[in-house]
């Protein structure tokens, strides 16, 4: 009982804000892995997991039947659900993908601003474990299991300062990494390489042009980046007062 109580306190208790250097350093590191192509090819897998998780969760919440999720080594992904091919449920499911990494980062920023570092990490573990059940290809399983193992190892064995650095980096990565795929999406659309993209599916469902949805994704993710960043940096500036 004592161990269970300690675990509960550890999960729900607040942790002190990390040093300012960690907050800034993790932001710079996130930008460094999102910017260059070589590091982006690796870090983009995290964004893809969140992207496909957003499709899957929204499909379930709107009453669609989730068939499975696939994650591919080229950082693309596919979520298949069954239900009406048109209507609000399908629109919401198509809309969720590009916005989910940014919204997940924003939720993480809210938790970090309140000192809930361990809770943020364990919430991520729960979501990843639930997602793992619906993965339908080998690379996807390896990708999600590896992510779970890394997050668990940090949250269970690492020092408090290391946990804080990892959590802040993960949130910055989601916030910053949510923007670049939208730029890549429009570049592919211009070249005619993405006829079945989320933006084009939304165009067929709503009769609004695909560029409208690309702009919507971009504005939403950039606004979320600024909002989430202000929460993280606001916590830092409070430490200066």
**For the segment 58-92, what is each residue's pLDDT rounded down to a tens digit?**
999 999 999 999 999 999 999 999 999 999 999 99
In three-state form (DSSP H/G/I as H, E/B as E, the rest C), the secondary structure along 128-176 is: HHHHHCCECCHHHHHHHHHHHHHHHHHHHHCCHHHHHHHHHHHHHHHHH
Q: What is the rounded distance in angstroms from the CA atom of residue 117 to the CA atom of residue 219? A: 28
**Residue 24's pLDDT band (boundaries 50, 70, 90)?**
very high
In degrees to the nearest 10, what's the CA dihedral of 88, 93, 97, 102?
60
Q: What is the rounded distance in angstroms from the CA atom of residue 110 to the CA atom of residue 220? A: 17
DSSP state of 64: P
Q: For residue 69, give both structure tokens.
A: 């999720």
User: Do 71 and 45 touch, CB atoms closer than 8 A?
Assistant: yes
**For the segment 214-233, what is each residue's pLDDT rounded down to a tens digit?**
999 999 999 999 999 999 99
Q: For residue 239, give both structure tokens.
A: 């430490």
pLDDT at residue 97 is higher than 50: yes
Q: What is the predicted pLDDT for the residue at 241?
A: 39
Q: What is the predicted pLDDT for the residue at 234?
A: 84
Q: What is the predicted pLDDT for the residue at 198?
A: 97
User: Do 131 and 56 touch, CB atoms closer than 8 A?
Assistant: yes
Q: What are phi and psi of 65, to 5 degrees?
A: -100, 120
Q: What is the predicted pLDDT for the residue at 226?
A: 97
Please, what sign has the CA dihedral across residues 92, 94, 95, 100? positive
What are the boundaries of each domain within the chain? 17-238
């Amino acid at each position: 009982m004592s161990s269970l109580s300690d675990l509960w306190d550890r999960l729900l208790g607040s942790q002190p804000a990390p040093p300012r250097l960690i907050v800034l350093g993790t932001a710079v590191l996130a930008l460094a892995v999102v910017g260059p192509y070589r590091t982006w090819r690796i870090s983009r897998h995290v964004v893809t997991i969140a992207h496909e998780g957003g499709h899957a969760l929204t499909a379930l919440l709107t009453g669609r039947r989730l068939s499975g999720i696939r994650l591919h080594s080229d950082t693309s992904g596919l979520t298949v659900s069954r239900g009406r091919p048109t209507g609000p449920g399908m629109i919401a499911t198509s809309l969720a993908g590009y916005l989910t990494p940014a919204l997940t980062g924003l939720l993480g920023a809210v938790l970090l601003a309140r000192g809930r570092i361990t809770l943020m990490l364990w919430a991520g573990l729960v979501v990843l474990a639930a997602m793992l059940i619906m993965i339908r290809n080998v690379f996807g399983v390896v990708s999600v299991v590896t992510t779970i193992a890394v997050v668990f190892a940090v949250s269970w064995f690492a020092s408090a300062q290391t946990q804080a650095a990892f959590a802040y980096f993960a949130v910055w990565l989601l916030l910053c990494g949510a923007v670049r795929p939208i730029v890549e999406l429009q570049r592919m659309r211009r070249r005619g390489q993405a006829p079945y993209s989320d933006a084009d599916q939304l165009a067929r469902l709503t009769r609004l042009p695909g560029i409208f949805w690309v702009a919507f994704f971009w504005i939403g993710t950039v606004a979320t980046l600024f909002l989430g960043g202000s929460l993280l940096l606001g916590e830092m500036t409070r430490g200066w007062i």
